[in-house]
């Protein structure tokens, strides 16, 4: 059957927003761990450049660069077609792309809320709709939603309004999805901590590699690993 995984064949991971920051670190580490990697970015040229970095970090991995603006309706399906044309199929999906528009809850415009929800909620919803059916069909899948402590009710929903509310929506999507999955298909969310990236800024306490650690763990969980949880530093945390 086309799309069936042959014994010993590496899994394939797709990472959104993989052109820099935590996403690039995740893509490199998954490649080093023996997965093939689809490096996606909202601009094809950025994806291609990042794919060169992943190939350098993980010479044995098959690395495909693909354009994916997660906020654009139809983009996930178009990306799926690009991947399918190569004979690859996505076993691991890392919804990492993020934006951090500043401002309080009543100050931010509708346009800012729409963009935050497009990137943090609709983007992951669309990639899940596109790639989870194949995982269910093949009986294996790992989805990792990169959230934030700002999206956590338990941590007080700190941070800018649209950012924190849209990340809370991503957390809700994680919980709802986890209840519908079957076979060895799992979805979890992660708070990477405060990471030195363009978003986190130069004084953040963690390297992108440290920020990637729990994401990579969730992306490669064994069959008896958790489903529908929220994690930081390899440990469950409250929603
Ligand atoms: P960066 O700002 O370094 O990277 C964000 C990435 O998301 C970039 O690759 C960016 O692409 C991409 N992106 C933004 N919008 C889109 C879009 N519409 N389609 C595709 N890609 C898009 O941030 P980080 O690496 O720090 O953040 C990664 C994730 O971690 C985010 O979800 C963030 O919310 C989360 N996080 C980060 C924390 C931190 O301290 N850094 C703390 C908690 C959570 P482009 O180059 O085109 O802009």
163 is catalytic: yes
Q: State if residue 151 touches ligand 1 by the CB under 6 angstroms criterion.
A: no
| 3-7, 11-15, 59-63, 156-160: the lowest-pLDDT one | 3-7
Q: What is the pLDDT confidence band of residue 10, given thresholds at 50, 70 and 90?
A: very high
Q: How far is the CA of 197 from the centre of ligand 1 (A)?
A: 8
Q: Which helix (H) or strand (E) holds 46?
A: helix 44-57
Mean pLDDT of 74-95: 98
Nearest CA to ligand 1 atom 36: 148
Q: State if residue 42 touches ligand 1 by the CB under 6 angstroms criterion.
A: yes
In this predicted structure, what is the pLDDT of residue 4? 55
User: What ranges make up the beta strands (E) of 47-159?
Assistant: 63-67, 92-95, 140-146
Give the pLDDT confidence of 115-137 residue by residue, as tens digits.
999 999 999 999 999 999 999 99
- Give the Cα separation of 81 and 224 in Å (integer): 32
Average pLDDT, the chain: 96
In this predicted structure, what is the pLDDT of residue 9? 85
Nearest CA to ligand 1 atom 8: 17
Cα end-to-end span (Å), the chain: 40
Buried b (16+ CB within 10 A) or exposed e, 33-50: bebbbbbbbbeeebbebb
Mean pLDDT of 152-163: 96
pLDDT at 3 over 60: no
pLDDT at 89 over 80: yes
pLDDT at 45 over 70: yes
Ligand 1 atom closest to 197 (CA):
3
In this predicted structure, what is the pLDDT of residue 1? 38
Structure tokens at 157: 């929903």
Q: What is the pLDDT confidence band of residue 8, given thresholds at 50, 70 and 90?
A: confident
CA atoms in the 13 A half-sphere facing the CB of 113: 11
């Amino acid at each position: 059957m086309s799309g069936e995984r042959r014994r010993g064949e590496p899994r394939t991971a797709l990472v959104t927003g993989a052109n820099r920051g935590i996403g690039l670190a995740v893509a490199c580490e998954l490649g080093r761990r023996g997965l093939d990697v689809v490096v996606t970015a909202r601009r094809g040229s950025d994806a291609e450049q990042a794919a060169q970095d992943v190939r350098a970090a993980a010479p044995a991995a098959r690395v495909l660069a693909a354009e994916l603006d997660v906020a654009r309706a139809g983009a996930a399906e178009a990306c799926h077609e690009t991947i399918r044309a190569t004979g690859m199929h996505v076993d691991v999906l890392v919804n990492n792309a993020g934006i951090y528009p500043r401002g309080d809850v009543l100050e931010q415009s509708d346009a800012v809320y729409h963009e935050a929800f497009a990137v943090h909620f609709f983007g992951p919803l669309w990639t899940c709709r596109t790639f989870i059916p194949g995982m269910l069909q093949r009986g294996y899948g790992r989805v990792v939603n990169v959230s934030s402590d700002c999206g956590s009710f338990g941590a007080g929903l700190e941070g800018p309004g649209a950012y924190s509310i849209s990340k809370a929506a991503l957390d809700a999507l994680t919980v709802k999805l986890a209840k519908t999955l079957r076979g060895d298909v799992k979805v979890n969310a992660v708070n990477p901590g405060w990471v030195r990236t363009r978003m986190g800024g130069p004084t953040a306490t963690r390297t992108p590699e440290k920020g990637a650690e729990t994401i990579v763990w969730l992306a490669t969980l064994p069959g008896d690993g958790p489903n529908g949880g929220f994690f930081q530093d390899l440990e469950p945390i409250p929603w």
